Structure 1
Amino acid sequence: MAKAPNLRDPKWFINRELSQLEFNFRVLAQAKDQSVPLLERLRFLCISSTNVDEFFEIRVSALKHQLGFANGAMIGPDGLSVLETLHRVRTRALELVDAQYELWNKTLRPALRKHGIRFLMRDEWNARQRRWLQTYFEDEISPVLSPLGLDPAHPFPRILNKSLNIIIGLKGKDAFGREGQFAVVRAPRSLPRVIRLPPELSDGSEDFVLLSAILAEFADELFPGMQVKGTWQFRVTRDSELIVDEDDAENLAHALKDELRGRGFARAVRIEVSDQIPKTTLKYLMGNFEVNEDDVYRVHGPVNLNRVIAIYDMVDRPDLKFPKYTPHVQGKIAKSATIFDAIREGDLLLHHPFDSFTPVLDLIRQASIDPGVLAIKQTLYRTGKDSTIVGYLIDAARNGKDVTVVIELRARFDEEANLSLADRLQEAGVQVVYGIVGYKTHAKMLLIVRREPDRLRRYVHLSTGNYHSGTARAYTDLALMTCQPDMGEDVHKMFQQMSALGPEIELKHLLMSPFTLHKGLLERIDREIRNAQAGQPAAIRAKINHLNEVAVIEKLYQASRAGVEIDLIVRGTCALRPGIPNVSERIRVRSVVGRFLEHSRIYWFLNHGHEPELLCASADWLERNLLRRIEACFPLLDPELRARAYDEEIANYLADNQQSWQLDAEGRYHRVEASMDVMPHSAQMSLLSRHCS
């Protein structure tokens, strides 16, 4: 073997932020793909736009915060300073934004028009349409607007994060003799961003107009007697990371509520403006928001591009969408009188969205009314609005069950919803636990204690995804239902660890972050290294969403050098560089982006001489998941379920040559294409055809 290199050399690591941006280029590629139905292509465009918003709100804002330390010289594993990272992010983000608007203007809008779905620009309105829109403005829009002329007595208003705004150039004097220069119109969030024209005005097409166009066209009605010199859209993205000093906060819920009040008006990290805005007007905006030229993104189109997704639900065009499907309900579940009966027959593996989420809802619903059920314990990270599950938990408490719910109040962008859920649950008598100070509770676990004729039995549901009916139709996830005593005892101990004070616990089957998962992962990689060094077959395969934890990457490099064959399916951020001679030449990394968001986490180790080991988890191979969160990693002990999970989530995805991208050593992704002698294979479509009707 060649001389061992320094496996923590920065040149072996890809920058996390740049890798995250690259994922959105792969999402955008779905919007460019002509084999994808047209309205789905529009949806992918809007997803990429929304993802970029969150990237600036969280990642860029964190980088800017770090600029205050050591003058921005903080170095990551990749060796880039904060300042250099921001410069590179700026360059790549500009390319992404330009690609998004070029696709919107030159491809998707014209394609939609050909199918009778038109977004009409101001210069396309005919006289009848303009009259209708003017009436709509006067009756529906103007009454809720609060235009503000800017002068020493009327300073620049507070602008809410990601809200639509119009800055207006004015000339002349108002009724009080005040000289006008600028005014701002904020679009209330109560107003729709996309307005449909009546059918009688559309000549057989479905015509839509953006709110921003209406505000710009009729702005002069808001300033009678003054001349409108120009109108320009703008939108501000703000730092959305909540910072709560948990050690000093006597009550986390109260501290979060205080932080949430100010989130929408935190420091600006980006400003999007019309590309026609004059330099003097832009300079005025930049001064107000205290941003520099590198924070400005000029766009040729709506500044809130993601809002055009509204037409996806506004038009009834199934021919332009993915075909509908009905998730599968497994026969053992369908034939059983109760879900408890089905689980007692043997472990159940659910693969969402191909397997229905209904059995999960049924499990909680039946537990809430079953007289034999004594206790229910559950973690909640994201549940969605008006969650059915929360309703069942409330029913259970009212029916005399002992119900404990661990709610993660700091689930990003769901903090307010989770605070509300916590209040509802507590009012119903549910014991609510907010988790551990300093560690987000990200584990997905449900435990039901049921008295049966011969014993108390624990029923367990463990998942890689959230208890959210909506995402269960859009995300791929794996879930296990079992009543194996050891698994039930492990989950029981984890709930005790989260709700009570005590020492580190010992588990029989589960691995738990921040205690044993990171260590257990490294130990399993070491086992494959030992097997390879002994001349035995050795292999690691994993499907995760993100990878950046330095010790894990270093260990994978060691494994590659030892002869372990490693295949990683990493949807999003990947800091590991594959294919480097003498470092990672036996590591292959691919990303699959398709109709459903790949969300399941599954780790597989060949474990030569024994049964292969397969683990599912709520955790990605990120530093935060492995070291700073409460995570659950669980094995599939049933050989048939283990084989099914490997076939569907590993082998199936490694064979994908339709929606798969290969990562090279330079950090670039290349779309995998089927060769002439290989049949086309889409992992997601294969699972749909296998399981759904």
Structure 2
Amino acid sequence: METQIDLNSSDLYLNRELSLLEFNWRVLQQALDPSVPLLERLNYLCISSTNLDEFFEVRVAGLIQQIEIGDPYLEADQISAQEALRLISIRAHELVDEQYSVLNNELLPLLEQEGIKVLPRPMWTSEHSAWLEQYFRDEIQPILSPIGLDSSHPFPRLLNKSLNFIVSMDGKDAFGRNIGFAILQAPRALPRVIQLPPELCEPGQYHFVFLSSIIHAFADDLFFGMKIKGCYQFRVTRNSDLAIDTEETSDLLATIADELTHRNYGDEVRLEIAHNCPEEMVNFLRDQCAMHQDNVYLVNGPVNLSRLQALHSMVERSDLKFKPFTQGRPNGLTSEVEIFGLLKQKDVLLHHPFQSFTPVIDLIKQAASDSSVLAIKQTLYRTGAVSPIVDALVAAAHGGKEVTVVIELRARFDEEANVALASKLQQAGAHVVYGIVGYKTHAKMLLILRRENNKLRRYVHLGTGNYHRSTSRIYTDYGLLTSDKQIGEDVNNLFIQLTSLGKIPKMHKLMHAPFNLHQGLLDKINREIAHAEAGKNAHIIVKVNALVEPEMINAFYRASIAGVKVDLIVRGICTLKPGVAGVSENIQVRGIIGRFLEHTRVFYFENGGDFEVWAGSADLMKRNLLRRVETCFPIESKRLQKRIIDDLNLYLTDNTQAWVLSADGRYRRAPRNEGDAMISAQNTLLEQLAKTN
């Protein structure tokens, strides 16, 4: 009798938080890759720092809250919140140590070789010191407010992720008191990296000084008559998730606007301190911040590495940056073409950033000025504070068209921009709604209703990414432009549901969460299993940003056991264990880390030779499949199907930017044998679809 395998066993699942840290480690490895231009390597270091900030602000903060309220940790790996925090601390400390090692031992020496120097105080000449002292007195000192700590000046409530200094002193102040410690917070208006004037540099070189170095050097001027014994930088990271009870609020816009004022003062979750800070002062800061030792990080360098990203724009060295490129356009889709006429003839697939996002903007602009267009409906999740799409929607509303916009106010860290956009659209006369209470609206949909020959025709854009022009140059995403009648009806019904809160609409072609997307994908996986059991070829390719949802992972395990070949291309979190004997031997998981952030969500099913290709807005996570409004749309044109399948196969053969997941949760570079051609999916797509300059 065969032993029954328990596919729900916790041994078959990786921890999601540790998986997210492994993604951040892979980002950091780009900073060590000599094939990447040097200033871009510095950027990757900064990105890894920003990612880690958000990890603590959201994920670690969430675990701490779970412990405080006694909520059990219910992930599939069954690790308790306490144990997860312990494991996170170990791995995060390793990651932080590696970040500063990369900065100090790799990047700064290489930058110096290129004439780009970040000067520590021992390297300042007398001319440097004179200029910096004057800069301190003119630009820095007037806006600083040091706080000597005593009973009437308690330890201040520090802004989230702000640069601060703890200063130890000897001597009496003007009132005859002994003040041992003072706190100094650097205003966010101050640049963290200051460029020295060309006359103080060698020809063709760039010299910079950290703000922290300047404050250290001239701190004496802030405490007249006191002797400064030490000055050490530190930073506090706080819980930044907005706590909003959507069931209890009657005005979500006003509630979120009010809650944003408190974001910078959430509970402390991490404390970073200069590595040379004396133990007595470290303990003092730890006590004041009520911080467990596991969440204290001693760092050998600036406490906010992400501020080094400023060097990328300040240094004019094109040879140390990625080559610029011009985004392409599909054949026939020039800026002058009448898009409605083109879409009557064929569907159009856009692949960003290799192809331009401009056709989507052009479509909305043409709709705004077209007298035959009666209505425009659109979802907005992340759009940017300044958006040509919002400008076009405002113009359409001013022009008397019916404009309906579903704005997701709770898009994390974009709430403030979305509140402003909602107000702007409302003032223009657009109908603005905020989705469904308890369910984020994450779908990417645009619907244009146009009267043609006395009949209404619907034009649709569906995408895997946001309506954000800037990110469309750095995120990989697909967008489908179509006038398909049934897809148009489906999208129209979805908008009606979002605005009227009516019953679940019947879909002709789309799958949508939180209703039939989860089960629809499971059904398609089960169909591949049936094909494999019938002796037919069976193959699944999935490309997503995250794979966490247990039922979906269970289905992939069942498919592997049945003999289905399963290729998973997962950018970030993956809690599935590949390569487990008898369970996941037919599953390969790989992730691509390159110049662009992989963001496409694509599903391929061989289906006995009758291929199906789907794209959508949802990742394979509980929140996307069960607690969000998402869309997943079929690519029905054989021509466009082939394009996406070719793209997927290109990613599966990538041997320069691909990482392969092992059952232990760690990633290794995709193997490349001697003599193998070097394949980069992103670079190949740039060559095929865009023009590099």
TM superposition score normalised by structure 1: 0.98
| Maintained 8 Å contact 2:30/2:41 | yes
Q: Pairwise mapping of residues 124-273 of structure 1 onto structure 2 (< 5 A)? A: 124-204=123-203, 205-273=205-273
Q: Partner letter of residue 235 of structure 1?
A: R
1:313 match:
313
Shift, 1:453, TM fit? 2.7
| Maintained 8 Å contact 2:385/2:421 | no
1:691 match:
689
1:450 match:
450
**In the alignment, does 2:598 pair up with 1:619?**
no
| Maintained 8 Å contact 2:605/2:611 | yes
Q: What are the superposed Cα offsets for residues 140-176 of structure 1, whole Å, 9 maximum, x if unpaired? A: 1111111111111111122100111111111111111
Shift, 1:2, TM fit? 4.4
Q: 1:34 & 1:335 partners in 2: Cα distance?
A: 39
2:637 match:
638
Q: Pairwise mapping of residues 43-62 of structure 1 onto structure 2 (< 5 A)? A: 43-62=43-62
Q: Partner letter of residue 495 of structure 1?
A: F
Q: 1:659 & 1:186 partners in 2: Cα distance?
A: 41
Cα gap change, 1:314 to 1:108, in 2 (>3 Å):
same
1:667 match:
665
| Maintained 8 Å contact 2:436/2:501 | no
**In the alignment, does 2:337 pair up with 1:333?**
no
Give structure 1 stretches of 5+ with no counterpart: none
Shifted more, 170-179 versus 424-433: the winner is: 170-179
Query: What SS does the corresponding residue of 1:218 show, helix, strand or coil?
Result: helix
| Maintained 8 Å contact 1:589/1:663 | yes
Percent of residue pairs identical: 52
Shift, 1:692, TM fit? 1.1
2:605 match:
605
| Maintained 8 Å contact 2:24/2:48 | yes
Cα gap change, 1:514 to 1:198, in 2 (>3 Å):
same
1:491 match:
491
| Maintained 8 Å contact 1:566/1:587 | yes
Query: What SS does the corresponding residue of 1:67 show, helix, strand or coil?
Result: helix
Shift, 1:213, TM fit? 0.9
Q: 1:552 & 1:330 partners in 2: Cα distance?
A: 35
| Maintained 8 Å contact 1:546/1:572 | yes
| Maintained 8 Å contact 1:73/1:83 | no
Shift, 1:543, TM fit? 0.5
| Maintained 8 Å contact 1:526/1:559 | yes
Cα gap change, 1:49 to 1:335, in 2 (>3 Å):
closer
1:14 match:
14
| Maintained 8 Å contact 1:75/1:82 | no
Shift, 1:338, TM fit? 1.3
TM superposition score normalised by structure 2: 0.98
1:82 match:
81
Query: What SS does the corresponding residue of 2:608 show, helix, strand or coil?
Result: coil
Shift, 1:677, TM fit? 3.9
Q: What are the superposed Cα offsets for residues 434-478 of structure 1, whole Å, 9 maximum, x if unpaired? A: 000000000000000111235211110000000001100000000
Q: Pairwise mapping of residues 30-45 of structure 1 onto structure 2 (< 5 A)? A: 30-45=30-45
Shift, 1:138, TM fit? 0.3
| Maintained 8 Å contact 2:335/2:362 | no
Shifted more, 544-553 versus 341-350: the winner is: 341-350
Shift, 1:94, TM fit? 0.6
Q: 2:457 & 2:544 partners in 1: Cα distance?
A: 32
**In the alignment, does 2:655 pair up with 1:657?**
yes
Q: Partner letter of residue 150 of structure 2?
A: D
**In the alignment, does 2:596 pair up with 1:587?**
no
Shift, 1:74, TM fit? 3.3
Q: 1:35 & 1:318 partners in 2: Cα distance?
A: 15
Give structure 2 stretches of 5+ with no counterpart: none
Q: Partner letter of residue 325 of structure 2?
A: Y
Q: 1:5 & 1:526 partners in 2: Cα distance?
A: 18
Q: Partner letter of residue 655 of structure 1?
A: T
| Maintained 8 Å contact 1:409/1:418 | yes
Q: 1:73 & 1:322 partners in 2: Cα distance?
A: 46
| Maintained 8 Å contact 2:511/2:633 | yes
Q: 1:145 & 1:336 partners in 2: Cα distance?
A: 54
| Maintained 8 Å contact 1:328/1:354 | yes
Q: Partner letter of residue 642 of structure 2?
A: A
Q: 1:666 & 1:296 partners in 2: Cα distance?
A: 27
Q: 1:616 & 1:98 partners in 2: Cα distance?
A: 39
Shifted more, 619-628 versus 665-674: the winner is: 665-674
Shift, 1:73, TM fit? 5.7
Shift, 1:501, TM fit? 2.2
Shifted more, 142-151 versus 8-17: the winner is: 142-151
Query: What SS does the corresponding residue of 1:334 show, helix, strand or coil?
Result: coil
1:102 match:
101
Q: Partner letter of residue 670 of structure 1?
A: R
Query: What SS does the corresponding residue of 2:241 show, helix, strand or coil?
Result: coil
Q: 1:282 & 1:527 partners in 2: Cα distance?
A: 59
| Maintained 8 Å contact 1:353/1:474 | yes
| Maintained 8 Å contact 2:193/2:307 | yes
| Maintained 8 Å contact 2:43/2:309 | yes
Query: What SS does the corresponding residue of 2:580 show, helix, strand or coil?
Result: coil
Q: Partner letter of residue 480 of structure 1?
A: L
Q: 1:631 & 1:374 partners in 2: Cα distance?
A: 26
Cα gap change, 1:181 to 1:159, in 2 (>3 Å):
same
| Maintained 8 Å contact 1:2/1:582 | no
Aligned length: 690
Spell out structure 1 runs of 4+ moving beyond 6 A.
none
Q: Pairwise mapping of residues 333-372 of structure 1 onto structure 2 (< 5 A)? A: 333-334=333-334, 337-372=337-372
Q: What are the superposed Cα offsets for residues 201-242 of structure 1, whole Å, 9 maximum, x if unpaired? A: 112220001111111111110001001110000001000111
Shift, 1:335, TM fit? 7.8
Shifted more, 276-285 versus 395-404: the winner is: 276-285
Shift, 1:69, TM fit? 3.9
| Maintained 8 Å contact 1:365/1:392 | yes
Q: 1:335 & 1:283 partners in 2: Cα distance?
A: 62
Query: What SS does the corresponding residue of 2:152 show, helix, strand or coil?
Result: coil
Query: What SS does the corresponding residue of 2:154 show, helix, strand or coil?
Result: coil
Shift, 1:6, TM fit? 0.3
1:474 match:
474
Shift, 1:75, TM fit? 4.7
Q: 2:358 & 2:178 partners in 1: Cα distance?
A: 64
Q: 1:349 & 1:688 partners in 2: Cα distance?
A: 16
Q: 2:621 & 2:410 partners in 1: Cα distance?
A: 18
Q: Partner letter of residue 654 of structure 2?
A: D
Q: Partner letter of residue 676 of structure 1?
A: E
| Maintained 8 Å contact 1:193/1:211 | yes
Cα gap change, 1:116 to 1:632, in 2 (>3 Å):
same
Q: 1:104 & 1:63 partners in 2: Cα distance?
A: 30
| Maintained 8 Å contact 2:335/2:359 | no
Shifted more, 339-348 versus 568-577: the winner is: 339-348
